[in-house]
A = this chain, B = another copy of it.
């Protein structure tokens, strides 16, 4: 299936170098990359090799190339359009984001701080203390895997039993929070993007295949959300389905 390109290939090395330079901030979002000629000099490779590296970054959605101008770091896409639905939960199964998964590997739990990527999820600024749990889930019957991440602000956990069991299942987390008398509501958002190289490797995703990203944010009636869950699955193998029934007081949809 997903033909694994040789990682030691010259153009892959160049692509990795540029990738690192971007994440290191040398080329911030929107900034132009060095021209092909400059990259040739910088890395002492031929033009086909440079172009191959650029093509790899392009197909990851990391950069954008404009004929006659140059290559530019693609800004993190902020969805300008959100298609909203308001729904009421009726299902009771203890599923992770609506599906029963097995945990393929022990969860990785760590403390960190909110970043520009994770902060907005929880409506927090950058640099706030955060407890993160990463899981690799598996559905053996479908032969699929998924990446699951739970993010909870440390301020929410502090003083609760959760502080002593940071590797708890999401279900237990919600049960604890509900037991603490919180009245929970949720928002779920479905989006899609091209996977990053590590995500492709972890999920075994073949090229030109996007990932579905489902984010669930939990509220308890206070100003800020108290937790966020993120689920990444191969979009070629998985979909998210909603069975809908009209409430008696609701007219027909559309």
Our pick among B144, B193, B251 for the contact of A80 (Cβ within 8 Å) is B144
Complex CA–CA separation, A244 to B173 (angstroms): 18
Of A111-119, A153-161, A209-217, which stretch is located at the interface? A209-217
- Contact between B80 and A143 (Cβ–Cβ < 8 Å)? yes
Closest to A87 in B: B87
Contacts of A85 in B (CB 8 A): 87, 91, 98, 240-243
Residue of B nearest to A233 (CB): B81
Contact between chains at B210 and A242 (CB < 8 Å): no
What is the CA–CA distance of A80 and B140 in the complex, to the nearest angstrom? 11
* Max chain B C-beta neighbours (<10 A), residue from A55, A67, A84, A98: A84
Q: Which residues of the other chain, B, contact A250 by a CB distance below 8 angstroms?
A: 89-92
Which of A15-23, A24-32, A122-130, A184-192 forms part of the interface with chain B?
A184-192
Nearest CB in chain B: distance from A228 CB, A: 12
| Interface residue? A223 (CB, 8 A) | no
- Copies of this chain, complex-wide, total 2
With known contacts A88-B90, A254-B229, A244–B186 Cβ distance under 8 A? yes
Task: Report the interface size for chain A: residues with CB under 8 A from the other chain.
Answer: 85
Question: Are B83 and A214 in touch, CB under 8 angstroms?
Answer: yes
Which of A33-41, A56-64, A102-110 lies at the interface with chain B?
A: A56-64
Question: Which residue, of A175, A191, A247, has the highest number of chain B Cβ atoms within 10 A?
Answer: A191
Name A204-247 residues within 8 Å CB distance of B.
Answer: 206-212, 214, 216, 229, 233, 235-247
A240, B189: Cβ atoms closer than 8 Å: yes
For residue A206, give the distance in angstroms from its CB to the closest CB of chain B: 6
**Smallest CB-CB A-B distances: 6 pairs:** A192-B192, A210-B210, A87-B87, A61-B208, A192-B235, A191-B239
